[in-house]
Amino acid sequence: MSSYSYVPAVQYGVQPDVYPPPPPVYMSDPGQHPLTQYADNCANLVRTPSPTPSEIEALNDDGSNWWRKYLDPGYWKDWKHILQGLVIVLLVGFIIAFYIFNDQIVNALQPAINWMKNLHLGWLIPIGIFIVISFPPILAILCGLVWGIGIGFAIVAAGGLLGEIANFFTFKYSCKARSAKLEATSIFYASLSQIVKQGGLKIALIVRYSAVPSHFTTVVFATCGMSFTTFIIAAVLSLPKMLVHVFIGVSLSASNAGNDSKRLRILNIVVVIAFVIITIVAMKYIKKRLAEVTPAVVYARRKARQIKETTSLSSV
């Protein structure tokens, strides 16, 4: 006869070495069953959703192949991408035309320049424009053309700061719902908000010197809970970024007047190169920090979708 001894099957929740065994649990009292208790929490029945294509792209984006998306025909099927492309082309074309035809442009603007310069309190005009439309570089260049490096930079700094402060309080108290929606839909916005919350003044200053538009960073600063003191310190310390555009206007004015010395041309080139280098270094640092927080942001988005699915399951 075989030496095999029969061992009864183990019941779920019953220890076989305890005698006498506890009474079996029947489905007439399902609330006591461990599986029933586990299933009562609907979150346990809904797994964390997989990443969406945009989330996968954000997770795999190391910043080195950013240009490849522009070669994809599918990218241009979205009208927003078409509009962005047109704006970029127009800006690049305008900058090229401005440098090629700078003498003609200055001559064409000369009547307006003289009128604004001779007008009593004429400097309030560019300040008002800065407040309304944030920081248009062409206006900063125009201030350099009209008032020179000293007064021109003072006007740009005053108008730029007042415009940034107005935007900060507008978005801080009037656009919370809009910013929450943007943070839920845009991975870049959510990631940038996260690094700003973690980094304080240091990150705020680096972001201001990066290629991210100032009006966009102000929205992020205002809606992520940054204090006004930190915001204004970062704004003041980033004012030299505005000085570059004013200096370009001063150089164009000197060139048109025939006072374009070799020293001024060299200084203009050095200023522009330094500005470009600082912007690139700042942007690389921001991209590195974005890559560090993006996985957590994507996971939070997936968990949010899980909670939404759980809520839908619970209401059935």
Average pLDDT over residues 104-115: 77
Residue 244 within any structural domain of the chain: yes
Examine residue 277 and state whether it is found in any structural domain, yes or no.
yes
pLDDT at 257: 63
Q: Please tell me the predicted confidence (pLDDT) of residue 31.
A: 46
Residue 85 resides in a domain: no
The per-residue pLDDT for 64 is 60
- Mean pLDDT, residues 122-134 taken together: 80
> Number of folded domains in the chain?
1
With a cut of 80, say whether residue 1 has pLDDT above it: no
Instruction: Give the structural domain span for 244.
Output: 124-314
b/e per residue 88-102 (b: at least 16 CB within 10 A): eeeeeeeeeeeeeeb
| pLDDT tens digits along 250-297 | 887 777 666 666 777 777 778 778 888 888 888 888 888 888 888 888
Span 208-233, pLDDT tens digits:
888 777 777 888 888 877 888 989 99
Query: 145 versus 175: which is more confidently predicted?
Result: 145
Neighbouring CB atoms inside 10 A of 230's CB total 17
Question: Has residue 226 been placed in a domain?
Answer: yes
Looking at the chain, the whole-number percentage of residues with pLDDT higher than 90 is 1
pLDDT of residue 30: 45
Peptide bond into 20 cis (omega under 30): yes
Instruction: Tell me if 46 is assigned to some domain.
Output: no
pLDDT for position 6: 46
Q: What is the mean pLDDT of the chain?
A: 75
What local confidence, expressed as pLDDT, does residue 24 receive?
46
Contact present, 241 and 208 (Cβ < 8 Å): yes
What residues contact residue 149 under an 8 Å CB cut-off, 6+ apart? 246, 247, 250
**For residue 40, pLDDT beyond 60:** no
pLDDT (0 to 100) of residue 65: 61
**232 domain residue, yes or no:** yes
pLDDT greater at residue 240 or residue 34: 240
Query: Within a domain: residue 4?
Result: no
- For position 233, what pLDDT does the model report? 92
> Tell me, what's the pLDDT at 167?
85
Q: Which of 29-43, 174-188, 194-208, 223-237 has the lowest mean pLDDT?
A: 29-43
Task: Find the distance separating the first CA and the last CA of the chain, reported in whole Å.
Answer: 57
Q: Has residue 32 been placed in a domain?
A: no
This prediction's pTM? 0.65
187-209 and 53-60 helices cross at what angle (nearest 10)?
A: 30
Which of 157-161, 238-242, 257-261 is predicted with the least confidence, judged by mean pLDDT? 257-261
> Long-range contacts made by residues 298-301, C-beta under 8 angstroms, separation at least 24?
298/51, 298/55, 298/58, 298/59, 298/187, 301/55, 301/184, 301/187, 301/190
